[in-house]
């Protein structure tokens, strides 16, 4: 039996009886221990089960919301009823209750020794991140990664994964006419033109910088605003200046202050209107 057939059984099982905790146990036992990709198959099964649970929970929450007009979040956060399998070695070692919105760590016991592999955890954590980002949960990237001790280096990979799901889109307009359209990385800066740089607006990929003001505006620094994507539709913005307040539409960012803003983020500078948004890929 190959992984495609096992995954097909998972999909069929979910279509017949969602949140059946024993289904995953039974399918994990079908993975031949002698195959070279034994651990990868188990991770793929757990990742698929995680995606099914988040997707179905979201569908049920939306259905309840449509029906009642009230927020049903609490109703669907409960765990599935505890069940124990009578099959194989799992029967005495796993409490098989899996939350309806599970985390990667909820599959620790199902993966056994494979969970202790950093590569195993990386793959399942990445699967959790992508699933939650598209399910509407939109976790905070810094908070998400710090839950996994010593794995902060994965933050760049999570940013890359998020970019494959939704891109950061920059639009600059002058006189109601778009003069610059650019997709941005998760970290970038807005600043003043310095020697050797083109005039505004100009995107400098090697510096990950958008030039928004000419060199004559000496009260605006070359790296005035630092942006960092924190959630799917949220950025943390830092005003690096010691004495200049920046007007971000309905908010003013004081010198040295950082604040989080939901997209779209709008900024008005002399002769230009700038907007940062998120576009699904």
Query: pLDDT tens-digit profile of 52-95?
Result: 999 999 888 877 656 555 544 333 333 333 343 333 444 444 55
- Are the C-beta atoms of residues 127 and 104 closer than 8 Å to each other? yes
Give the tens place of pLDDT for each residue, 200-229: 999 999 999 999 999 999 989 999 999 999
Tell whether 48 is covered by a domain. yes
pLDDT: is 177 or 96 the higher one? Answer: 177
What's the per-residue H, E or C state across 191-226?
A: EECCCCCCCCCEEECCCCEEEEECCCCCCCCCCCEE
- Angle at 150 (CA atoms; ends 149, 156), nearest 5 degrees: 110
* pTM as predicted: 0.78
Same domain for 132 and 174? no
* % of the chain at pLDDT higher than 90: 59
**Residues 52, 250: Cα–Cα separation, whole Å:** 40
Q: What is the CATH number for 190?
A: 2.60.200.20
**Residues 1, 262: Cα–Cα separation, whole Å:** 47
First CA to last CA distance, the chain: 35
Give the tens place of pLDDT for each residue, 124-174: 989 999 999 988 888 998 888 776 655 567 788 888 889 999 999 999 999
Tell whether 243 is covered by a domain. yes
Q: Give the domain-ending residue among 118, 137, 156.
A: 137
**Residues 101, 218: Cα–Cα separation, whole Å:** 51
Lookup: tokens for 111: 């993966």
Distances, alpha carbon 55 to alpha carbons 195, 210, 254, in Å: 51, 37, 41
Instruction: Tell me the residue range of the domain where 30 lies.
Output: 3-137
**Residues 268, 212: Cα–Cα separation, whole Å:** 10
* % of the chain at pLDDT higher than 70: 86
pLDDT of res. 75: 36
Distances, alpha carbon 93 to alpha carbons 31, 62, 89, 268, in Å: 18, 35, 7, 60
**Residues 27, 185: Cα–Cα separation, whole Å:** 40
**Residues 19, 11: Cα–Cα separation, whole Å:** 12
**Residues 133, 62: Cα–Cα separation, whole Å:** 17
Same domain for 209 and 253? yes
The domain total for the chain is 2
Same domain for 193 and 94? no
Tell whether 153 is covered by a domain. no
What pLDDT band is residue 231 in, cutting at 50, 70 and 90? very high
From the number of C-beta atoms within 10 Å of its C-beta (0-12, 13-18, 19+), residue 155 rates as middle
Same domain for 96 and 173? no
């Amino acid at each position: 039996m190959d992984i495609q057939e096992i995954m097909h059984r998972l999909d069929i099982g979910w279509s017949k009886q969602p949140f059946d905790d024993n289904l995953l146990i039974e399918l994990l036992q079908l993975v031949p221990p002698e195959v070279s990709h034994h651990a990868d198959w188990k991770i793929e099964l757990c990742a698929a089960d995680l995606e099914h649970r988040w997707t179905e929970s979201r569908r049920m929450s939306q259905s309840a919301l449509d029906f009642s007009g009230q927020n049903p979040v609490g109703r669907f956060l409960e765990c599935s009823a505890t069940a124990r399998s009578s099959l194989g070695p799992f029967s005495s070692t796993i409490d098989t209750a899996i939350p309806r919105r599970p985390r990667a760590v909820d599959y620790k016991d199902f993966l056994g020794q494979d969970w202790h592999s950093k590569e195993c955890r990386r793959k399942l954590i990445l699967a959790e991140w992508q699933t939650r980002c598209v399910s509407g949960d939109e976790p905070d990237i810094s908070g998400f990664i710090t839950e996994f001790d010593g794995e902060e280096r994965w933050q760049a990979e999570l940013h890359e994964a998020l970019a494959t799901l939704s891109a950061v889109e920059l639009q600059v307009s002058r006189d109601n006419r778009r003069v610059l359209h650019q997709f941005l990385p998760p970290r970038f800066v807005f600043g003043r033109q310095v020697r050797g740089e083109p005039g505004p607006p100009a995107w400098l990929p090697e510096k990950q910088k958008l030039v928004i003001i000419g060199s004559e505006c000496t009260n605006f620094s070359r790296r005035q605003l630092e942006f960092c994507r924190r959630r799917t539709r949220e950025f943390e913005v830092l005003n690096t200046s010691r004495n200049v307040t920046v007007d971000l539409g309905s908010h003013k960012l004081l010198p040295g202050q950082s604040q989080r803003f939901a997209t779209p983020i709008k900024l008005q500078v002399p002769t230009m209107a700038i907007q940062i948004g998120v576009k699904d890929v």
